[in-house]
Amino acid sequence: MPEVPITPEAVIELLTSEHILEPQEPILPETDLFTLGLDSMAMMQLLLQIEQRFQLTVNPSEMTRERFATAGSLATFLREKRRLAA
Amino acid sequence: MLTLPATTVDYFLAGLESFMRRSGQDTHWGVTVLKLEGKPDADLLARVWEQIHAHHPMLGARLKRVWRGWRLAWESQGTVPAPAITWHPTQSVPPDKNILRERFQGQVGSKPLRSPLLMEVFPFGDHDQHVILLTWRHALLDGTGINLLLEKMASGDASAGPPEPAPPKRHRMRDVFQRARPLMKRLHAMTSAGCLSAWAKGGAKGGAPDFHVIEFSQEQSERAAVRLRTACGDFLQMPFYAAVAARALRLLHERRGWHSPQIHLQLPFQSRGRSRDLLFGNHTGTLPLFLDAGALGTLEEAVSHLLERYREAMREEMPKASEALMTLAAHLPVGWFIPAVRLSNCGQICSLFHSHTGSFLPGRGEFAGAPVQNVYNIPNVCSPPGLGIFFSDFAGRITLTLSWRRGSVSPEEVETVNQKIQEDLTGGR
């Protein structure tokens, strides 16, 4: 299966298509995801969706506030993780 | 007449309440306690309270059968007037346990509450401290809903009503049954595995509800946060607390000399839209996980095992199966399906409940203009399972609520559970 490119837009698409977040305003790459309601329950779903869509396993201890703050920072983290795994 | 769609969790709670009433356990209520350092702005509170009641017809709704499809839906005559916020006279101490106990049984002055949502303010002490008590009926609000309600009230503007509900989906019953099968198989597996809750089979069911609240100090909370971060990163409070609760229940079984090869844990998952304006109606479904009692040796092992079981359940599309099973149940008389679940699970329903709320009022230090000292929930539970373990978190401060039915667990056992949880969270200091 071809790798899905990891971009801020792909992360935003994942968040909205899987109903992990349902904001009233569109999510931008720099939008603070926590103010939109990214809670513990949503994070559990996100963890699995990242595995399924990007074929990347994120260790819970890697889930830091900085990495998951915005779609942009999350895409950067996941791209780096994929690069290191290659 | 306004008809609003019910979630599948609403059906479940309707069945649970029916079971509770039939077994003399009254109605399912919860209380949220907000401790404030100063005086909340009375005008702001009143305005927001009125706005909430003016924009959410769910507050006047009742679950009824609709002819089309013979399924449950909320029916409302429209919005209801806001019940007056009660400001109590100033006391030297905060509201005592008797008041809290009365509220979480849905009573005021020994009389049943008529509104599904009540707000009271208790001023106390010499330093203008206040406690706000919100008493809520679980049929209309769950842990996620109460979070959203607090956020809405804290924002000072509740003029937005809920989003337009999506029309109910039509299902082919054969497809729904197929989707529900993996969960049915799981529930049967629970029966054959002999999973136990805190309730002894044949034991009392109608015991009075009781609770114990333990507010961790800042220092204890920080130690717990370090353990949480090490095991689960910055965010996964839910599996961490669930693992702690499962270990406490395992210890309770051991002390009783019971053998439960697995702990049946109901992990909440979001089962509806995440609009911040969707306050009422239940948000979270439950994901049944079976944790091997032998895999709960250390907290780290327990968390890792739980996450693995979570992944497995998600791969088996258990949330969809849970939705499907409750969709099937929605076509049954309310009083039937919980007894059916009880019967298929040898009376245990589920081993324990726990909260999943993460942090209250994230990013906010004030509520109605007053600095917030702490926020926590006190939900009542039914028997079985007989014991509920709930965690609340406000600005990094943890509060543990143990809620039980008398006759299901003894005071000594409650203390054992409390000690075990404190030991897991703080390393026993």
Is A41 in CB contact (< 8 Å) with chain B?
yes
Q: Are B389 and B421 in contact (CB under 8 A)?
A: yes
Residue A61 pLDDT:
79
The Cβ of residue B174 has, within 10 Å, a number of other Cβ atoms equal to 7
Residue B46 pLDDT:
97
Name the nearest CA neighbour of B113 among B93, B78, B140.
B140
d(CA B16, CA B350): 12
pLDDT band at B98 (very low <50, low <70, confident <90, very high): very high
Reported as a single tens digit per residue, the pLDDT across B25-68 is 888 999 999 999 999 999 999 999 999 999 999 999 998 888 77
Residue B272 pLDDT:
66
A44-73 residues touching B, CB cutoff 8 A: 44-45, 47-48, 51, 59-65, 68
Asked whether the beta carbons of residue B233 and residue A61 sit closer than 8 angstroms, the reply is yes
Q: Which of A22, A35, A51 shows the shortest C-beta gap to B274? A: A22
Say which CATH superfamily domain B173-361+381-426 falls into.
Answer: Nonribosomal peptide synthetase, condensation domain (3.30.559.30)
Tokens of B58: 């769910």
pLDDT band at B404 (very low <50, low <70, confident <90, very high): very high
Residue B429 has pLDDT above 60, yes or no: no
- Eight-state DSSP code of residue B89: P
Asked whether the beta carbons of residue A44 and residue B144 sit closer than 8 angstroms, the reply is no
DSSP H helices, B156-217, are 173-193
Reported as a single tens digit per residue, the pLDDT across B119-165 is 999 999 988 999 999 999 998 888 888 888 999 999 999 998 888 87
β-sheet bridge partners, residue B31: B135, B378
CA distance B17 to chain A (A): 25
Asked if the domains B2-155 and B173-361+381-426 are classified in one and the same CATH topology, the answer is yes
Residue B270 pLDDT:
73
Length of chain B: 429
Residue B13 pLDDT:
84
pLDDT band at B418 (very low <50, low <70, confident <90, very high): very high
Contacts of A4 (CB under 8 A, 6+ apart): A10, A53, A54, A55
Name the least confident of B94-103, B117-126, B380-389.
B380-389
Is A83 in CB contact (< 8 Å) with chain B?
no
d(CA B190, CA B200): 16
The whole-number average pLDDT for the span B347-369 is: 75
Token pair 């008493």 is at which residue?
A: B135
* Whole-number Cα distances in Å, B274 to B18, B61, B145, B280: 28, 21, 10, 12
d(CA A68, CA A85): 20
Is the bond preceding residue B5 a cis peptide, omega within 30 degrees?
no
β-sheet bridge partners, residue B390: B401
CATH of domain B2-155: 3.30.559.10
The Cβ of residue B42 has, within 10 Å, a number of other Cβ atoms equal to 13
Most confidently modeled of A10-24, B76-90, B195-209, B350-364?
B76-90
Q: Are B423 and B410 in contact (CB under 8 A)?
A: no
Residue B165 pLDDT:
76
Reported as a single tens digit per residue, the pLDDT across B246-301 is 999 999 999 999 988 888 888 887 766 667 788 888 887 778 888 999 999 999 99
- Three-class secondary structure of residue B200 per DSSP: coil
Tokens of B269: 């998952």
Residue B263 pLDDT:
87
d(CA B205, CA B192): 23
Return per-residue pLDDT of chain A as tens, 86 residues: 678 899 999 999 999 888 888 787 889 999 998 888 777 778 888 888 898 899 998 887 788 888 999 999 999 999 999 999 88
Asked whether the beta carbons of residue B234 and residue A42 sit closer than 8 angstroms, the reply is no
Say which CATH superfamily domain A8-85 falls into.
Answer: ACP-like (1.10.1200.10)
What predicted TM-score, i.e. pTM, was given to this entire model?
0.89
Residue B190 pLDDT:
75
Residue B365 C-alpha from the chain's centroid: 24
Residue A47 pLDDT:
86
β-sheet bridge partners, residue B375: B34
Q: Are B85 and B46 in contact (CB under 8 A)?
A: yes
Mean pLDDT of chain B: 87
Helix B237-256, helix A40-54: angle, nearest 10: 110
* Whole-number Cα distances in Å, B33 to B83, B122, B135, B271: 18, 11, 9, 26
β-sheet bridge partners, residue B215: B399
Which element (helix H / strand E) includes B282? none
* Whole-number Cα distances in Å, B414 to A36, A68, B302, B387, B407: 37, 38, 21, 9, 12
Domain boundaries, given as residue ranges, for chain B: 2-155, 173-361+381-426
Asked whether the beta carbons of residue B363 and residue A35 sit closer than 8 angstroms, the reply is yes
∠ CA(B151), CA(B280), CA(B62), 5° rounding?
155
